[in-house]
Each structure stands twice: as C-alpha cells, then as structure tokens.
Structure 1
Amino acid sequence: MARRDDLIASRKDIDSIRKYIGADSLGYLSLDGMVTATGGTVGELCTACFTGDYLVPVQLELAKDSLEAEPVKA
C-alpha cells in the first residue's frame, strides 16, 4: 500500500505531473465535483480517503504481515 509520500502529487506540481505523464492538460476535481459526478451526496458517500477526515481512528500504515492470520495451535 502506498504512503502519501509515495504519491506523485506529494512531490510535483500539476504542470510537472502533466509533463511527466505526457498529457495535454491535467486538473483535479474538487470534492464537491467528485461527489456530484457520482450522482450521490456527501451524506451518502464516504469521502474519508480524500479528505483524511475519518469517523474512527485509522492506522494509515501497517506492517506488511500485520493482516496475516496467527498459526492455529493443535
């Protein structure tokens, strides 16, 4: 899973990213624009991944083996 620092937008501005990916233009949707594009409302959609405003505490980084099951003892 990528960390925020691994994402290209954490290191480059919009024009640099546009050039890097070879696009003619590049822009971002606002949160309201993204919600509108889904046909939903902010109350219906979870936007925590975009805003960082989680309803419960979230551990953003996990050790690579943290989701593996413990061995079953016979």
Structure 2
Amino acid sequence: MGDDDDDDDDESQNTDDYLMDASHMPLDEDDLLRQGFQKPPDSVPIKLPSMPDIVMTPVDPPLRTNQQRQNLM
C-alpha cells in the first residue's frame, strides 16, 4: 500500500469502509432543533395593495372639426 498506510491491513484503505451509508435515517424535528436548526416560520401570504376603481380621464382632448372651430369664433 501507500506510505500513509499505518497498519498491515491491505483492505484498510478501501473507500467503501468509510463512505457514509446512503440509507441514513432522516432526523426528526426534535433532533434538528437540538442541533441548532430552526423551524422556518409559517409562510404569510403576500397581499398586494389594491388600487381603487377610478375612471381615467382621457389624455388627449377631443378632436374638433372645422365646423366646430368656426362656431367658436
């Protein structure tokens, strides 16, 4: 084996020995709280501000015909 092998066991450097088992047990809520994890706050629905129903005034003035202009003079 390599220079860093400090025992006589040829299989001691096998990566399967120290890899984490993928089938670990999930932690329950109490375990997570003990480890310092915090429970996320309950979500609050976001309410957008509502706009009042208003009637928009036209931006452009109404078009006047030539006859209407002559009546104004």
TM-score (norm 2): 0.25
TM-score (norm 1): 0.25
Q: Which has the larger radius of gyration?
A: 2
- Which one has a larger percent helix, Structure 1 or Structure 2? 1
